[in-house]
Structure 1
């Protein structure tokens, strides 16, 4: 996960490494009403998959990744992990 601070928002780039073989993946969180497929990760030339989302800088957000086969997983580099959301 990478963060870029802008004047009015923060750009978060969610990244799944190339060696994480899980098929199609989307980032699902409170910023997209937990709707799968709204923010799909796209493969990069190096094989990893990523998507960038603009979020308000002043808020904390919850999210998880959803992969093919209803496989949910966490971002290991997130600021924290609270309970189990979908």
Structure 2
């Protein structure tokens, strides 16, 4: 699930997943971090989910996926906008 919040210079996107599904550490990787795992690792929240927030510039298109332990790549099921194997996010 994605949560969005406008900023004066762009948008903050919070990437949210259940705490244990999939198990182990999960990173969101994409254009905004040069597809480098571990830069944006989801952390536990008080509501029982895990999340990470990324600041993105306005009026751009970003592509992303999640990477879990064991080299398990997957998409955000709440986002239907895709380009091939990747989620597409318009800011």
Q: What's the counterpart of residue 58 of structure 1? A: 59
Question: What pairs with 1:5-84 in structure 2 (closer than 5 Å)?
Answer: 5-18=6-19, 20-78=21-79, 80-84=81-85
Distance 1:60 1:79, change over 3 A: farther
How far apart are residue 14 of structure 1 and its match? 0.3
Single out whichever of 10-19 and 64-73 deviates more from structure 2: 10-19
TM-score normalized by the length of structure 1 = 0.90
Figure out how many residues of one structure are paired with residues of the other and give that number: 85
Kept in 2: contact 1:13–1:50 (CA 8 A): yes
Distance apart, 1:79 and its partner CA: 5.3
8 Å Cα contact 1:18-1:46 kept in structure 2: no
Q: Which has the higher strand share?
A: 2
Please say which of residues 32-41 and 70-79 is displaced more in the overlay. Answer: 70-79
Question: Over the residues paired in the alignment, what is the CA RMSD in angstroms?
Answer: 1.4
Please, which runs of 5 or more residues in structure 1 have no aligned partner? none
TM-score with structure 2 setting the length: 0.85
Hey, which bits of structure 1, 4+ residues long, moved more than 2 A? none
